[in-house]
Amino acid sequence: MKIVVVGLGVIGGSFTMALKEAGYNDVYGIDINEESLEKAKKLGLIREGFKNGEEVIKSADFIIISLYPRLVKQFIIDNKSNFKDGAVITDATGIKKMFIEDIVNILPENIDFVFGHPMAGREKKGIDFASSQVFKGANYILTPVSRNKEENLNMVEDLIYKIGFKRVKRITPEYHDEMIGYTSQLPHSLAVALVNSDVEGRETGSFIGDSYRDLTRIANINEDLWSELFLGNKENLLKSIENFEVELDKIKDAIKDDDKETLKEIFIKSTKRREKL
Amino acid sequence: MKIVVVGLGVIGGSFTMALKEAGYNDVYGIDINEESLEKAKKLGLIREGFKNGEEVIKSADFIIISLYPRLVKQFIIDNKSNFKDGAVITDATGIKKMFIEDIVNILPENIDFVFGHPMAGREKKGIDFASSQVFKGANYILTPVSRNKEENLNMVEDLIYKIGFKRVKRITPEYHDEMIGYTSQLPHSLAVALVNSDVEGRETGSFIGDSYRDLTRIANINEDLWSELFLGNKENLLKSIENFEVELDKIKDAIKDDDKETLKEIFIKSTKRREKL
């Protein structure tokens, strides 16, 4: 199977590494950054790298696209006459419903796009931060659409397990976006707001422990990618933020009222829920 | 120097371990839990353990109290006629201003209480989770009061460095509480509210990555301790929550308005701030 990874950033690069470790050796890369291509080739992650992928796409059986959401769409438009008949494409995009509608509208009939989302990432950009380790034991979500062929869904799922993921779940794009709004986008919003709410001029660095460090790691955020992800899932994210605010208000009210018993109940609830995870 | 550690929980236990590693060998323990005393003795962390510490306190040069805030006060009241003349006491309490006022009011004249806060902890309770490792490289805050003797402040500071902390800062109790409201109590509030805002019945566990895991670790929280800490620092914590809400609202508004540029600016700000830490 000839595999092409499009976008050798932190996620695409990690895919090439995980593919290599899993024994896939007919892998090629496409990126606009020549250095990334050179690095991937030097590390033996790809057979060849291309800035213009037209030729290699023509013979690709399986294409993994790791680009920003709007660039995925552009890639499909640019290559719609290049794809091999029956080729399978997958993506790593963190939003699904609106994104899939956009893609399905422009996708050639004879191409099967299996939409997916590896629940693994790093806050840094670029192939220098890529690592197959981030995939090990992680969750993966597939969001099948009616035109997907079962054999292609199975092929992708099989490959996902082989490159180290622990669990693959098939769900609807709607449910994906609802859950991701809560488990990924809301935490990113909180981390960003936490860091930005610091009062200017304090020596905060001298007063932090592991909790602040852990909660703010993802405040180091790729602004191009995440502004797209947030706006591509706005209703779900806003709902998650509102649910969060209700719970934060309960804590605020209990503090204002010196209501120790309610505070304890709130803490007992969060402890139980966290232990179940 | 004869040292007594009062309260062999996760923090007190960690103190005994770090003291042992640093070569202090005249160390005793007081705890109401017999198993904790036995474990500490078996591990060679203390020479002897006591459920009733009256006798050992009479000859103690330095007492480290690792109890819940209100129990520290009770311990001082119960033992005010037991302390050795000139004994030095320190604590590990996460709030300072109100707490110090309470203690100073009841403290015998000939005892020097050096108030401190190790910026290191674990979300689990008890000596089984104690480890000297959590102290290594961590920050420590001392909040001197006018009656402290410089030689005693220096003695405590010296010991803190010896047991593995990287940085000791001396600040006012007021500044401590302001900073801790932001760097510790606010993150705990956010983690708790995040976990509690999950919608009942969803299979959240299948949709989480490292970010959710990191942000919710401290939602597993000791309700007795943290309800005391929150209510003992209510004004600062409420102010921190309000500042946070202002920043979260900026994110919400940008999402509602499809304002990608503002979102990006917000993310660039948080990234810069996080990288500086």
Each residue's pLDDT, cut to its tens digit, for chain A (277 residues) gives 999 999 999 999 999 999 999 999 999 999 999 999 999 999 999 999 999 999 999 999 999 999 999 999 999 999 999 999 999 999 999 999 999 999 999 999 999 999 999 988 776 778 888 888 889 999 999 999 999 999 999 999 999 999 999 999 999 999 999 999 999 999 999 999 999 999 988 889 888 888 899 999 999 999 999 999 999 999 999 999 999 999 999 999 999 999 999 999 999 999 999 998 8
Inter-chain residue contact B183 with A226, CB threshold 8 Å: no
Residues 191-230 of B with CB under 8 A from A: 191-199, 202, 204-224, 226-228, 230
Tell me the domain boundaries of chain B: 3-171, 175-276
Q: How far is A222 from chain B (nearest CA, A)?
A: 7
Measuring CA to CA, how many Å separate B157 from each of B79, B116, B118, B169? 25, 10, 11, 9
* Per-residue pLDDT, A128: 85
Q: Which fold has domain B175-276?
A: 6-phosphogluconate dehydrogenase C-terminal fold (1.10.3660)
Inter-chain residue contact B273 with A195, CB threshold 8 Å: yes
B105-136: pLDDT as tens digits: 999 999 999 999 998 877 677 888 888 888 99
* Per-residue pLDDT, A152: 97
Residue of B174, B175, B190 to mutate, interface with A, max A Cβ within 10 Å: B190
Inter-chain residue contact A218 with B214, CB threshold 8 Å: yes
* Per-residue pLDDT, A237: 98
Inter-chain residue contact A211 with B218, CB threshold 8 Å: yes
Instruction: Name the nearest CA neighbour of B227 among B171, B188, B178, B268.
Output: B188
Q: How far is A184 from chain B (nearest CA, A)?
A: 6
Of B230, B243, B271, the CB nearest to A221: B271
Which residues in chain B are closer than 8 Å to A250, comparing Cβ atoms? 193, 196
Question: Can you tell me the mean pLDDT for B165-191?
Answer: 96
d(CA A56, CA A2): 9
B51-81: pLDDT as tens digits: 999 999 999 999 999 999 999 999 999 999 9
> What is the chain B residue with the closest CA to A202?
B179
Do A3-171 and A175-276 agree at the fold level? no
Q: Contact at 8 Å (CB) between B276 and B218? A: no
* Per-residue pLDDT, A201: 87
Inter-chain residue contact A247 with B192, CB threshold 8 Å: yes
Please give the interface size between A and B, counted as residue pairs whose CB atoms are below 8 Å apart. 277
Instruction: Name the nearest CA neighbour of B202 among A167, A54, A44, A277.
Output: A277
Question: Which three-class secondary structure state does DSSP give residue A136?
Answer: coil
Q: Can you state the percent helix, strand and coil of chain A, rounding each to 5?
A: 55, 10, 30
Q: Contact at 8 Å (CB) between A153 and A114? A: yes
Inter-chain residue contact A204 with B270, CB threshold 8 Å: no
Q: Contact at 8 Å (CB) between A108 and A80? A: yes
The average confidence (pLDDT) of chain B is 95
What CATH number belongs to B3-171?
3.40.50.720
d(CA A152, CA A158): 10
The size of chain A, in residues, is 277
Measuring CA to CA, how many Å separate A98 from each of A216, A232, B51? 29, 7, 64
- Compute the radius of gyration of chain A from its Cα atoms: 21
Which residues in chain A are closer than 8 Å to B137, comparing Cβ atoms? none
* Per-residue pLDDT, A132: 87
pLDDT of residue B16 exceeding 90:
yes
Q: How far is A261 from chain B (nearest CA, A)?
A: 8
Question: Can you tell me the mean pLDDT for B152-180?
Answer: 96
Inter-chain residue contact A183 with B209, CB threshold 8 Å: yes
> What is the chain B residue with the closest CA to A256?
B234
* Per-residue pLDDT, A129: 83
Q: Which residues pair with A141 in a beta bridge?
A: A117, A169
Q: Is A172 an interface residue toward B (CB < 8 Å)?
A: no
d(CA B188, CA B202): 23
d(CA A63, CA A78): 14
Question: Can you tell me the mean pLDDT for B210-239?
Answer: 94
A124-170: pLDDT as tens digits: 778 888 888 889 999 999 999 999 999 999 999 999 999 999 999 99
